[in-house]
Structure 1
Amino acid sequence: MACSQRPRERMLLPRTAKMLTTKQPRAGKVGPATENVDPEKEESCHAKRSSSSPQGGPKKRSAFGDITNARKNQVVAGKKEAVKAAPPKAQKAHNALGVAKNNEISLKKPTKKTPPTAPAEPRVSPVPEKPVSVQESPEERVPAVEDIDKEQLGDPYANAEYAKEIFEYMREREEKFLLPDYMEKQTDISGDMRAILVDWMVEVQENFELNHETLYLAVKLVDHYLVEVVSAREKLQLIGSTAILIASKFEERCPPCVDDFLYICDDAYKREELIAMEMSILSTLKFDINIPIPYRFLRRFAKCARASMETLTLARFLCEMTLQEYDYARESPSKLAASCLLLALTMKNLGGWTPTLEYYSGYSAQELHPLVKRLNFLLTYQPCDKLNAVRSKYSHRVFFEVAKVTPMDMLKLEETLTSS
Structure 2
Amino acid sequence: MPLTRGKKPTATAGSKIPKLTKTENQEEGPQVKRSSSPPNGAPKKRTAFIDITNAHKVQISLPGRKKESVKKTARKTSSTSVSAKNQANLKKSSSVSSEGTTAEKERTDAEEEKPSQEEEEAAQKNVATPVEKLVAAAPPAAREVPTHLQRQQIPEEFDIDSENSEDCYMCPEYAKDIFDYLKQREEKFVLCNYMPKQPSLNPEMRAILIDWLVEVQENFELYHETLYLAVKMSDHYLSQTPVHREMLQLVGSTAMLIASKFEERSPPCVDDFLYICDDAYKREELISMEASILQTLSFDINIPIPYRFLRRYAKCVNAGMDTLTLARYYCEMSLMEMDLVPERGSLLASACLLMALVTKDLGGWSPILQFHSGYQMSDLAPVIRRLYLMLAAPPDDKLRAIRNKYSHKVFFEVASLPLVNIDILEKALLQ
Superposition TM-score, scaled by structure 2 size: 0.67
Is 1:44 aligned to residue 28 of structure 2? yes
Task: Report if aligned partners of 1:49, 1:393 keep a CA contact under 8 Å in 2.
Answer: no
Is 1:9 aligned to residue 21 of structure 2? no
| Percent identity of paired positions between Structure 1 and Structure 2 | 58
**Number of aligned pairs?**
307
Q: For residues 249 and 53 of structure 1, do their structure 2 counterparts lie closer, same or farther at Cα, with a shift above 3 Å needed?
A: closer
After the TM superposition, which residues 14-163 of structure 1 pair with which residues of structure 2 at under 5 Å, given as runs? 30=24, 43-45=27-29, 145-163=157-175
Deviation for aligned residue 1:162? 0.8
Superposed CA RMSD: 2.5
Deviation for aligned residue 1:224? 0.3
Secondary structure at the residue paired with 1:3? coil
CA distance in 1, matches of 2:15, 2:156: 50
Which residue of 323, 327, 347 maps to 1:311? 323
Is 1:270 aligned to residue 271 of structure 2? no
Task: Please tell me the residue identity of whatever aligns with 1:309.
Answer: M
Task: Report if aligned partners of 1:297, 1:337 keep a CA contact under 8 Å in 2.
Answer: yes
Deviation for aligned residue 1:227? 1.1
Task: Report if aligned partners of 1:3, 1:200 keep a CA contact under 8 Å in 2.
Answer: no
Which residue of 392, 399, 410 maps to 2:404? 392
Cα deviation, 1:52-87, whole Å, max 9, x if unaligned, reads: 9999xxxxxxxxxxxxxxxxxxxxxxxxxxxxxxxx
Secondary structure at the residue paired with 1:207? helix
Deviation for aligned residue 1:8? 4.5
The match for 2:191 is 179
Is 1:229 aligned to residue 217 of structure 2? no
Runs of 4+ in structure 1 off by over 6 angstroms are 46-50, 52-55
The match for 1:292 is 304
The match for 1:346 is 358
CA distance in 2, matches of 1:232, 1:253: 33
Task: Report if aligned partners of 2:186, 2:345 keep a CA contact under 8 Å in 1.
Answer: yes
Report which stretch shifted further, 374-383 or 310-319.
374-383
Q: For residues 369 and 382 of structure 1, do their structure 2 counterparts lie closer, same or farther at Cα, with a shift above 3 Å needed?
A: same
Deviation for aligned residue 1:144? 7.7
Greater Cα radius of gyration, structure 1 or 2 = 2
The match for 1:202 is 214
Task: Report if aligned partners of 2:357, 2:364 keep a CA contact under 8 Å in 1.
Answer: yes
Deviation for aligned residue 1:382? 4.1
Deviation for aligned residue 1:47? 6.9
Deviation for aligned residue 1:360? 0.2
Deviation for aligned residue 1:10? 5.3
Deviation for aligned residue 1:366? 2.3
CA distance in 1, matches of 2:381, 2:330: 15
Task: Please tell me the residue identity of whatever aligns with 2:406.
Answer: Y
The match for 2:348 is 336
Secondary structure at the residue paired with 2:170? coil
Deviation for aligned residue 1:373? 1.9
CA distance in 1, matches of 2:227, 2:27: 17
Deviation for aligned residue 1:245? 0.1
